Amino acid sequence: MAIPSSYMQHTFPPEIWFQVLQPSTLTHRDFQNVSLSCSFLQEVTRPILFRSLTFRPPCESDRRASTYDQESTDFSQRLSFLTSDAIVPWVREVRIIWFRPEHSNSDKSRQAYANLVAKLSCFERVAKLHAEQFTFDSSHLQALAECPFLKHLNLVKCPINHTRHVQPPSAQCAVVDLTFRDGASLDGKWWSSFVSPTSTRTITATNYQPSLQLVDILASGPIMSQLKSLTLCCTSPRSPQFLEALLRCPVLETLRFVGEDYYVSFATQKGALRSDIVPHLKSVRAGTDYFASYFCGRHLTEIEATGEIDGDIAFVNFVSELHDHYPQLTSLSLHASRIHPDALLLPLRKFAQLEHLSVGYQRLTKEDGNEIRAQLLGISLPPNLQTLQIGDYETSNGAHAEPMLDSALETHLKERYPSVRKVLITGSSTVFRYN
C-alpha cells in the first residue's frame, strides 16, 4: 500500500507522535516513526497496529499565549480521536511528557492532559506507561490500577496529589516493572495497588520517602515470589524492618542502594547478612565498606561499589579483598582518586572471569591514559573481557572528547581478545576509544 507523501509531513504539532509497527499488509519499509494527520488515519482502510502513543507539550518556541489556546483546543479534539474505538484496542504503550506549570498559562492545555490520564482506562491493553513531570491525583491512579494489562509503570518527577480521596480499586494490577524516580512518590495505601506478590519482578524507588514506604509494605506484606531486582534510596541495610522486607523476597538477585549518605552511618558496623536472607543474590550496588563484611559469603558476580577509593594502597587492598571474597566476579564498577595507572589495571590481573570493568577516575591525565594504553599491550587480559572503561564518565559519551585511534592496540585486541567490544579511556579528552 502506497503512502501519499503529503501524509508523511508533520501535520501534527510536536506534542503528539506515533510510533507505528509495520504490519504484514504494508510494504513501506520506512513506515516506523512518522507523524500522521487525522485525515490519513481516517482514510486508511487496512489495519495499522499503533504500538505506542507519545504525548508531549509544544516546544519552547511554540509556548506563546497567543497561539496556545488554539493549540489546546486542537489537542482536545485530537485527544478525542486518539481515545476512540479506532485507536485504543491497538495501543500497548502510552508516554506522557509534561512540563512544569509555570511554562504554560493555558488551563485548556492542563485540562486536556488531565482528560488524557483520566481516559487511560480506555486503553484496556496498555502494557507500559511512562510519565514525566505530570501531577497525578488519586482518580488518575485509580484509572491506572484498573488497566488489567499494565506491566510497566515508570513515573519520573511526578508528584502525587492525594487531595481527592478515592479508594484504591479492589482489582490489582500485575505490574512487572515499577519505577518511581526523581520526586515521584505514592502514599502507602496506593503501593499495594501496583505491587503484585506473584507478578512484580523489578521495583525502583530513588527517593527517600517512597523507599521507606516500600520497605514497610514489603516487611508486612506477603512473599514476593517473583521479585528479582530491588533499588532503594538511603535505607539502612541493617535495620530490622529492612531485613524483614528482604526475608519476603526469596528469589531476589539484584539489590541496589542509591543516594550518597546511606552507607556513612553504618560503615563501621560489622557482621554479615544472614545466609537465609536473599540466598540467590548475584548483583549489588552499595558502599565500599559493605563488601568486606555485610555481603561476605555471597556468590556475587556483579559489584558496583560507590564511594571514592583514595590512594594506591587503599585501592590495592580493596581489590585484593574483593578477590578474596568474590573471585568469580564478571562485572566490577569502582570509583577512585590519586591512583597510579598501573594500579588501575589491577582488577584485570586479579579476576580471571571478568567481562566488564569500569573505574571512575576524574583526574586521569593524557599521560596516564597513554601509560594505561601501553600496559594493555603487555599484560594478559581476562579471556572473556568485553568492556573496559577508565576515566571521567562525564566525558566518556564523546560529547567533549576527540577520539584517537591506536592501531597497534586495536590490532592487538582483535587478534588476541575477539570478545572485546569496547575500550574507553578518558581524561580531559578521550585518549583512546575502540568499539
Residue with cell 574507553: 424
Predicted confidence at residue 82, as pLDDT, reads 62
Q: Contact 278/227 with Cβ under 8 angstroms?
A: no
Pairing state between β 33-34 and 93-97: unpaired
Q: Which of 48-52, 145-149, 345-349, 366-370 is predicted least confidently?
A: 48-52
Predicted confidence at residue 313, as pLDDT, reads 93
Radius of gyration of the chain (CA): 26
Alpha-carbon span 58 to 56, nearest angstrom:
7
83-98 residues labelled b (16+ CB within 10 A) or e (exposed):
beeebbebbbbbbbeb
Alpha-carbon span 13 to 77, nearest angstrom:
13
8, pLDDT greater than 90:
no
Predicted confidence at residue 121, as pLDDT, reads 64
Predicted confidence at residue 231, as pLDDT, reads 93
For the entire predicted model, the pTM comes to 0.78
Mean pLDDT over each residue of the chain, to the nearest integer: 72
Residue 344 DSSP one-character state = H
Residues near 96 by beta carbon (within 8 Å), at least 6 away in sequence: 55, 113, 116, 117, 129, 130, 131, 132, 134
Q: Which of 128, 125, 124, 75 is nearest to 98 (CA)?
A: 75
Q: How many CA atoms lie within 13 A of 210 on its CB side?
A: 29
Alpha-carbon span 117 to 161, nearest angstrom:
14
Domains of the chain in start order, with CATH, are: 308-435 (3.80.10)
Which of 98-102, 110-114, 125-129, 187-191 has the highest mean predicted lDDT (pLDDT)?
125-129
Q: Which of 221-235, 299-313, 362-376, 396-410 is predicted least confidently?
A: 396-410
SS3 content of the chain, % helix, strand, coil (to 5): 30, 20, 45
Q: Contact 298/273 with Cβ under 8 angstroms?
A: yes
Alpha-carbon span 429 to 396, nearest angstrom:
9
Q: Which amino acid is at 267?
A: A
Give the cell for residue 67: 497561539
pLDDT tens sequence across 198-237: 889 999 988 877 788 888 888 988 999 999 999 988 667 7
For 187, the 3-state DSSP assignment is coil
Q: Contact 301/282 with Cβ under 8 angstroms?
A: yes
pLDDT tens sequence across 80-92: 666 666 666 666 7
281, pLDDT greater than 80:
yes
367, pLDDT greater than 60:
yes
Q: Is 21 exposed, middle or buried (0-12, 13-18, 19+ CB in 10 A)?
A: middle
Question: H helices within 48-171, ranges in order?
Answer: 65-82, 107-118, 138-145
